[in-house]
Structure 1
Amino acid sequence: MNLIIDIGNTVAKMALFDGATMVDIVYDSNQSLNSLRELCSKYPVDKAIVATVIDLNESIINQLNSLDVPLLWLNSQTKLPVINLYETPDTLGGDRIAAAIGAYEQFPDKNILIIDAGTCITYEFIDAKGQYQGGNISPGLQMRFKALNQFTGRLPLIAREGRLLSIGKDTETAIRAGVVKGMEYEISGYIEAMKHKYPELLVFLTGGDDFSFDTNIKSIIFADRFLVLKGLNRILNYNNGRI
């Protein structure tokens, strides 16, 4: 089995794949990986891959290096089953390229826009030739709420949950509508612009943010919470001779 480790800005995800099928997933602290040993003892792990968007502490590095299976660290030198046209591959987050690969594996020969609504919102585009063209990054849901609170003198920190109006009637509903509706309009705008250029565009939505799977955007064609993990699994298999 393949052990897939995706260490994000907020949480770490560890999944087990049997071929292309995910059989288990564990969410853990991105500062400790407390469940790693138990997960490895539960399943017959053959090989593993780790992708991280944060600098790892010494404890986690030691945990990963002590695994008794071959471990692939995803970086700019890792062989990919797509063509990477990003101009600065050293700065490209592993989660971003993995999401694009996870989508393209399911729909090869298609133009695909991947929207990952997590700590940040990322927009990735991979074309029908399997060329990752690049993408954009903007603040995620919680980041927007916190920014309004931290960079102003009087605006409160508002929760996502609560009354959501098209036009706010007080400060709380004004902030909630501004953030949530603003994200919806932003995402819809990206989709509309891309579909104007690529009429047969496929759109994937993924991510760990609650917004990701609680949206009224109708242009989303596919919602796949585990797209990054699937992409990392594909990269691992590709580097082990499974074309």
Structure 2
Amino acid sequence: MNLVIDIGNTCTKLVAFEDGEPIEEKRIENDEPQKMKDFCKKFSFERGIYSSVIDLSRQFVDIIISLPFSMMELQPGVTDIPIINKYKTPHTLGSDRLAAVIGANYLNPQSNILIIDIGTCVTYDFINASGEYLGGNISPGPTMRIKALNKFTARLPIIERSGSIPEIGTSTETAIRSGIMNGIRYEIEGYISKFSVKYPGLFIYLTGGVDINLHIPEKMRIFANKFIVPIGLNRILEYNNE
């Protein structure tokens, strides 16, 4: 069995893999790494992998390396990976973005794939049918946009992300929420439309912690998969142990 640790901006995701399949997931806060040990007691892990998009505390790293099985770290630009990375600055590539394209390529080899991750940021990453990662784009996520409107204006308030999202806002609260959430939706739909024209038969994976109600033709091959990053990390682990 394998342990995958995906450390994001807001929380850490622990996923147990058996025979290449995720069988259990646990989320913990980034300031409570000791809970990793409790999760590990439930399984007989043989090896593991971790990646992080934040700078880890010494305590966090010490707990990872003290686990009773070998752990490897995904280091973009350093770790061997089963795809061709054409990103011009591979060492600066987010480990979550790299793992996501590897996971998508593992699930659908020899396919053109667009991966959209909606979380703290909204990221768009593309890997072609030849297994070449060509790059992607990064956009602010909904919470970041809400905070930016408050910070850079004199009177716009912080609002809750969840709530009514009319087509046209009828109050300052709904104007902000609708502007942000509908804006992200239109942005995503625009990317999907453009890539689908350029790459017929395109596969699209949606992941991340934010739900967006997209208006997409049913004929498009769109899949929601919350495990796309862990699947990629597990694939990297297996690749480095083959």
Q: Is the TM value for this pair above 0.5? A: yes
Q: Find out whether 1:18 has 2:18 as its counterpart.
A: yes
> Matched residues in 1 for 2:173 and 2:41: separation?
48
Query: What is the aligned length?
Result: 238
Pairing 1:84-123 to 2, within 5 Å after superposition: 84-123=85-124
The equivalent of 1:202 in structure 2 is: 203
SS in 2 for 1:42: coil
> Matched residues in 1 for 2:167 and 2:47: separation?
49
The equivalent of 2:68 in structure 1 is: 68
Q: Which moved more, 1:9-18 or 1:144-153?
A: 144-153
> Matched residues in 1 for 2:168 and 2:179: separation?
8
The equivalent of 2:180 in structure 1 is: 179
The equivalent of 2:136 in structure 1 is: 135
1:78 CA drift (Å):
0.7
1:3 CA drift (Å):
0.5
Q: Find out whether 1:146 has 2:157 as its counterpart.
A: no
Q: Find out whether 1:49 has 2:49 as its counterpart.
A: yes
After TM superposition, the score normalised by the length of structure 2 is 0.95
Identity of aligned residues (%): 48
After TM superposition, the score normalised by the length of structure 1 is 0.95
- Structure 1 gaps, min length 5: none
The equivalent of 2:36 in structure 1 is: 36
The equivalent of 2:158 in structure 1 is: 157
Report if aligned partners of 2:112, 2:129 keep a CA contact under 8 Å in 1: yes
1:155 CA drift (Å):
0.4
Question: How large is the Cα RMSD of the aligned pairs?
Answer: 1.1
Q: Which moved more, 1:60-69 or 1:44-53?
A: 60-69
SS in 2 for 1:180: helix
Report if aligned partners of 1:28, 1:34 keep a CA contact under 8 Å in 2: no
Deviation string for 1:104-148 (max 9, x for gaps)? 111111100000001100000000000011110000011111111
- Structure 2 gaps, min length 5: none
> Matched residues in 1 for 2:214 and 2:137: separation?
22
> Matched residues in 1 for 2:216 and 2:88: separation?
33
> Matched residues in 2 for 1:14 and 1:34: separation?
12
SS in 1 for 2:179: helix
Deviation string for 1:39-71 (max 9, x for gaps)? 111100100101000000010011011122111
1:218 CA drift (Å):
1.9
